[in-house]
Chains A and B, each alone.
Chain A
Amino acid sequence: MRTLLRLWPYVRPVRVRLFTAASVAVVASCVGLVIPLVLKWMVDGPVADRDPAGVWLGALYLLLLGLLEAGLFGLRRWLVARPLSHVEAEMRAGLYGHLQRLPVAFHDRWASGQLLSRATTDLMLLRMFLAFPLTFLLVNAVTILAGVIIMLLQDWSLGLVILGPALPVMVMCVVFENRYAVVARLAQDQVGDLTTVVEESVLGIRIIKGFGRHRSQARAFRTLSSTLRGTELRKARLLATIWAVIVTLPEVAIGAALVLGTVQVADGELSAGTLVAFLSTALALRWPVDSIGFLLAMSQEAATATERYFEVMDEEPESETSTGSRPADAGGAGAGVTATGSGDPGVTDAGGGDDTGAGATVADARAADARRPTAGSADATAADTGSPGDGSAGDGSAGDGSTPATVADAKRADATAADARRADATVPEAGSAGGGSTGARRADATVPEAGSAGDGSTGARRADATVADARRANARNADDSGADAGKAGDGLRFVGVVFRYPDADPASPPTLDRVDLHIRPGESMALVGATGSGKTTLTALVPRLHEVTAGRITIDGEDVTAMTREELRAKVAVAFEEPTLFSASVGENVLMGAGDQAGAAELERALGVAQAEFVHALPQGTATQVGEQGLSLSGGQRQRLALARAVVGQPRFLVLDDPLSALDVHTEAAVEAALRQVLADTTALIVAHRPSTVLLADRVALLSGGRITAVGTHQELLRANTEYAHLMSGNGRQEDDR
């Protein structure tokens, strides 16, 4: 019940009206209680005295009081009608807005049926709670109190008789409330589950039909809805019990009062008018007392609804910039020191606890994640955890001193090492406080390689084949270095990026394990890897749909976590593998990718690039409605619109996740031709499954085991890298490029 207090911030804006309404209701109830007194006055006065004129007066009083009561009741409802709808709407808008800003990982975890039932049923329950139980629990309490006082004043002995059942009723109510709370919550959750099944059965209808499974689906639905029925019946039994008690006990008391009163009237100790008034008052209190049961039940359901609502609202939204994540990184590194010191499995436990708890802060989860790789690999850990300690000094020397050694010496310097060095040269923050932890990590990437030609823990895994490539990269680096003086043209850079889904088992290997990759300004990089190797995950990190666990991603030298999402997403455009169109016109769907100033010209250009001219043949051309409530388009059509959306804003950075998978050969060729021009001056990362898509790019990076294991041109990798050749040709053996 205490959770209901959390509604206050939403109720606050309408508090004046709500309180006024409650006061009005109290007054109205008291007016109702005065009516029996007028009756008493009539019975004992004019009626007993046979005074017709007095009767008229009494009736007039009754009429006036009655009209007043009616007016007050109406006033109460009028006062709260709009404000309460407003509260409900505000809470719903709040939930919607909040959900939109929760991390994508949250949405992966929550079935949308559960979210929907919170936004609809639960909020309606809350509005009803504010409209009735909240007011009437107060009003009834006042009414009962006033009524009891009136009765005690009229005849204290009869009053005490009436009061008799109060204590047992209250005890019953408390017991009931606790039991009901449990069942009510269960029922609401089961409704959510049922909603989820309904939703999935609608969304997955083609599969259900395709396999003729609608009967088993119906069976699953039936099981769930029968369970819900059982729970609802349990609720009904509880409710019936409390009703029975609440109806019986006061009635017994009224009966006793009637008998006692009759005796007193017969003995002349009590006037008939008082008895009538007394019983009339007692009966007037019946509804306030009777209703306690269902008011409590409604409050209980409202409390559960509030709980469910805040379960979602309490989730931490994504932080706008890095403010949230930086300290967490530091914390992670710090914790790592102790972890390696003790080699304590307890660390894992601490991390594991975080994942399930809704209350766990982002920082906690991240700290736990940052700890993992450290505990995992002994050598690397030492370097890693040591670095934060000697901070800038270690960083400076390692970066500048050891990397050339790597190149000269081991000849294994891949693009990463070179990149790291260049980053140190060009990014002045290397030694600064802000760069402390990342700098250390960068150093970490190079140091083991430089110092450990022999142990080769990380280096050995890199394909030897990339030597040539790396050399070339170095050569280019030299060329670029002048141009790179400013941050503006640094391209897209992944530096020691580690990523584990926040809800993943902390003991599992991270999805991405120290990815180093540099995409030069204007360059297109294809990302190739086996199914499930983390390509999509890597692309999701760039627009910060997920936050890196460790390491960093920079665009034009600026850490993506240092930008607001707004800035970041304005610079980076994305096309997803599963193209989603929104309920809007085709034109609006495409122009979503651009700023407000973009118009018809940009739209046409983008549609041209994506070979999506088919839209002009739609019933209303680019104004045709699509999405949930409009025309359904084929997968290929949607994919082309999604691509148009990605390129319409002429973004500096483009992330395309297998953007051509659903296109037929001819269309694909046409899109590729057009896309090449766009890619000429755009920095792009393109997930590719096929040679045709790979050829859009200048270079290819191979993602394997969570790391970039090779970078080079398609031809080079095809020749030199078995895994790559396998992915591109489907054959186990190396194959010459056709």
Chain B
Amino acid sequence: MSAPATSSPTTEDPPQDLPVRAADDPFDKDVLPTPPGATGILLRSLLAPMRARVALTTLLLLLQQAAVQAGPLLVAYAIDRAVPSFRAGDDGPLIAVAVGYLVCALASGTLQYAFLIAAARVNQDVLLDLRGRIFRHAQALSVDFHERYTSGRLISRSTTDVESLRELLSEGLQELVTVVLSFLYISAMLLWLDLGLGAVAVASFVPLYLLVRIYQRRAGRVFTARSTAIAAVIVKFVETMNGIRPVRAFRREAVNDADFRVLNRRHERTNGDALLEMARYVTGSRVVANTAVALIVLWGAYRVAGGTLALGVLAAAVLYLRRLYDPIDRLGMFLNSYQSAAASLEKIAGLLAQTPSVPEPSVPTELPARRGELPGREVVFDEVSFGYRTGGEVLPRFALTLPAGQTVAVVGSTGAGKSTLAKLLARFYDPSGGRVLLDGVDLRELAVPELRRGVVMVTQEAFLFSGTVAENIAIGRPDATREEIERAAKAIGAHEFISALPDGYDTDVRKRGGRISAGQRQLVAFARALLADPAVLILDEATSSLDIPGERAVQAAMATVLKGRTAVVIAHRLSTVEIADRVLVMEHGRIVEDGAPADLIAGTGRFADLHRAWRDSLA
């Protein structure tokens, strides 16, 4: 069951600008290195809070089994005692049988109901807890983890893997407990009825146990392979559906079909293997069980014939035997769901064992009250350096102070480290050395809500969540009123197009008529940022899809609504520079020029070059 734990997954993803990491075999990374015993710890921690309810559930099942398993005993009693005494005119034992059976029947039904409900509660609460944990944990993990651990894999962790645990809990565990309980009960009954017959039945457990062990070992391997195979299928599926436009435009359908077929076949094969293992197990266990039945009947009948055993006892023994071996198929089913759940749980445990590389502080600090009139705050990069754990320094040690209220443009070619600088400031990454200070407070000491009142970053990818346009804007500040939302949209020039949508601000972006172009999405992203009203605003290529009027609207908003905020603007278009107080030119991770735009343009440095090229491009 030990999945291939690879050495590579600890490697860090490079910044978006700098590709360094070699692509590993994707399937290797499906299981993250899991500390030994993590699966068990996870399972225990899930069940611990409901210990009492688990106990209650078990008790219910215990009683229910007692009621169910009393049946054959009553049969034995009826044949051996009630028949003779009824013949003798005493119908007391017969009435006892009748009442006993009725009570058992009603009790087993009622207890079954109570048990199922109690068990479902426990199961659903465990699942709720687990789903929530995976979700929250995935959200808490840093951006660079997400860049490394693909979305398809994260999705399959919280869907198919949770699903297999659900199966285990809702069907498997109950099966297991039922099976174990009835094994115990029935063995006890058999031993009590007749020591010899009981001993034979118990002896048959040895080969059964061996069969189970063999099955468990073999199926474990198959199940791990199967769960990896389905994860690959999911990754391919998600990738295709999310990239459907290029798929269509480049006629990838047939190629994709072929690729998918390969992955799908692999899953089909492992799936078939798993089912065949099950078939072998069932056959083997049935052979053992039926042989045991034949032996017990032979010996019992022999003894009844010899007069050393009561007929009723034999009858009860036979009835018990059938019940004893009935659940062995179900034991197989349990092992099935156990194996696949164990494989899934291991992956989930691996995910949950990942420590966020950008953790929230345990004792958060608050930002000091704003100094003076300006809403902006001072940013200091205090001897900051940044490199990935694998080595490869991206930003060598540097110091930089951005006074409150300053608008700083960062320019430089692709891979110069602009985005990394922005991500450090937004605390998507933590620096390898030094500190990033916001009004003198280390970003690492700020709780998330406080941090986001301080710094907000708008990136190039303007993803919309399902929901209405208004809800999407309100991500900036969930408690914002409709009026505030509209004001933000108006300030950024998004009001017009939003009003033109079928339901205006209430248009569901995933529903009909809710189509929103890339430029419009960026406007929505901006409205979010306006609404968030941060002290420091970072725009990382956030205007790339806007047309010039759109860009102007954004600049106007920055000059008015966002006036006085500290702003860091990364843009390829130098038009942004027009509103900047200061320009930083970056190259190979270093700040090579730093000054007021006019001064730099007047000079002969890189920025002057860039600016000239840009003026030319405007034609």
Question: In the complex, which residue of chain A has the Cβ closest to the Cβ of B80?
Answer: A272
Residue B346 lies at the interface, judged by CB distance under 8 Å to chain A: no
Q: How far is the CA of A545 from the CA of B538 in the complex (A)?
A: 36
The answer to whether B518 and A536 have CB atoms under 8 Å apart is yes
Residues of B within 8 A of A210 (CB): 426, 428, 452, 456-459
Interface size on B, residues (CB 8 A): 191
State whether A569 and B549 are in contact (beta carbons under 8 Å apart), knowing that A86-B268, A225-B132, A251-B104 are contacts in the complex: no
The answer to whether A728 and B548 have CB atoms under 8 Å apart is yes
The answer to whether A570 and B251 have CB atoms under 8 Å apart is yes
State whether A634 and B294 are in contact (beta carbons under 8 Å apart), knowing that A88-B271, A210-B457 are contacts in the complex: no
B485 CB to nearest A CB, Å: 14
The answer to whether A74 and B155 have CB atoms under 8 Å apart is no
Residues of B within 8 A of A279 (CB): 75, 315, 319
Q: How far is the CA of A205 from the CA of B148 in the complex (A)?
A: 13
The answer to whether B572 and A73 have CB atoms under 8 Å apart is no
B104 CB to nearest A CB, Å: 7
B378 CB to nearest A CB, Å: 20
Question: In the complex, which residue of chain A has the Cβ closest to the Cβ of B67?
Answer: A251
The answer to whether B276 and A692 have CB atoms under 8 Å apart is no
The answer to whether A96 and B305 have CB atoms under 8 Å apart is no
Residue A66 lies at the interface, judged by CB distance under 8 Å to chain B: yes
Residue B240 lies at the interface, judged by CB distance under 8 Å to chain A: yes
State whether A265 and B286 are in contact (beta carbons under 8 Å apart), knowing that A665-B572, A737-B619 are contacts in the complex: no
Residue B82 lies at the interface, judged by CB distance under 8 Å to chain A: yes
State whether A43 and B311 are in contact (beta carbons under 8 Å apart), knowing that A240-B113, A727-B549 are contacts in the complex: yes
Residue A407 lies at the interface, judged by CB distance under 8 Å to chain B: no
Q: How far is the CA of A600 from the CA of B292 in the complex (A)?
A: 70
Q: How far is the CA of A592 from the CA of B248 in the complex (A)?
A: 12
The answer to whether A229 and B127 have CB atoms under 8 Å apart is yes
* Interface locus among B40-48, B193-201, B253-261, B393-401: B253-261
Which among B290, B314, B516, B547 is the interface contact of A530 at CB below 8 angstroms?
B547
Q: How far is the CA of A74 from the CA of B287 in the complex (A)?
A: 10
CB proximity to A under 8 Å, residues B531-571: 532, 541, 544-552
* Interface locus among B182-190, B277-285, B431-439: B277-285
CB 8 Å contact bits of A80-110 with B (1 = contact, 0 = none): 1110111011001100110111001001110
The answer to whether B294 and A111 have CB atoms under 8 Å apart is no
State whether A200 and B466 are in contact (beta carbons under 8 Å apart), knowing that A96-B257, A662-B460, A664-B572 are contacts in the complex: yes
* Interface locus among A374-382, A397-405, A666-674: A666-674
The answer to whether A635 and B16 have CB atoms under 8 Å apart is yes
State whether A531 and B243 are in contact (beta carbons under 8 Å apart), knowing that A58-B301, A198-B135 are contacts in the complex: no
CB proximity to B under 8 Å, residues A643-660: 645, 658
The answer to whether B113 and A100 have CB atoms under 8 Å apart is no
* Interface locus among A480-488, A553-561, A573-581: A573-581
B311 CB to nearest A CB, Å: 6
The answer to whether A116 and B108 have CB atoms under 8 Å apart is no
CB 8 Å contact bits of B97-122 with A (1 = contact, 0 = none): 11001101110111011101101110
The answer to whether B125 and A229 have CB atoms under 8 Å apart is yes
Question: In the complex, which residue of chain A has the Cβ closest to the Cβ of B330?
Answer: A287
Residue B252 lies at the interface, judged by CB distance under 8 Å to chain A: yes
Residue B158 lies at the interface, judged by CB distance under 8 Å to chain A: yes
Question: In the complex, which residue of chain A has the Cβ closest to the Cβ of B503?
Answer: A505
Residues of A within 8 A of B307 (CB): 50
Residue A78 lies at the interface, judged by CB distance under 8 Å to chain B: yes
Q: How far is the CA of A233 from the CA of B124 in the complex (A)?
A: 8
Q: How far is the CA of A200 from the CA of B451 in the complex (A)?
A: 23
The answer to whether A255 and B102 have CB atoms under 8 Å apart is yes
The answer to whether A505 and B139 have CB atoms under 8 Å apart is no
State whether A692 and B618 are in contact (beta carbons under 8 Å apart), knowing that A210-B458, A276-B315 are contacts in the complex: yes
CB 8 Å contact bits of A12-44 with B (1 = contact, 0 = none): 000000000000000000000000000100110
Q: How far is the CA of A563 from the CA of B155 in the complex (A)?
A: 39
Residues of A within 8 A of B127 (CB): 225, 229, 232
CB 8 Å contact bits of B53-96 with A (1 = contact, 0 = none): 00000000000000010011011001100111011000000100
Residue A258 lies at the interface, judged by CB distance under 8 Å to chain B: yes
A541 CB to nearest B CB, Å: 12
The answer to whether A580 and B151 have CB atoms under 8 Å apart is no
Question: In the complex, which residue of chain B has the Cβ closest to the Cβ of A237?
Answer: B117
Q: 5 tightest A-B contacts by CB?
A: A66-B290, A74-B283, A255-B101, A248-B109, A212-B452
Known: A208-B139, A727-B547. 11 other contacts (CB 8 A): A65-B290, A74-B279, A74-B280, A262-B79, A266-B86, A276-B79, A283-B71, A531-B523, A582-B243, A631-B19, A691-B618
9 sample A-B contacts, Cβ–Cβ < 8 Å, listed by A number: A80-B275, A82-B275, A209-B426, A236-B117, A244-B110, A263-B86, A625-B23, A637-B414, A662-B460
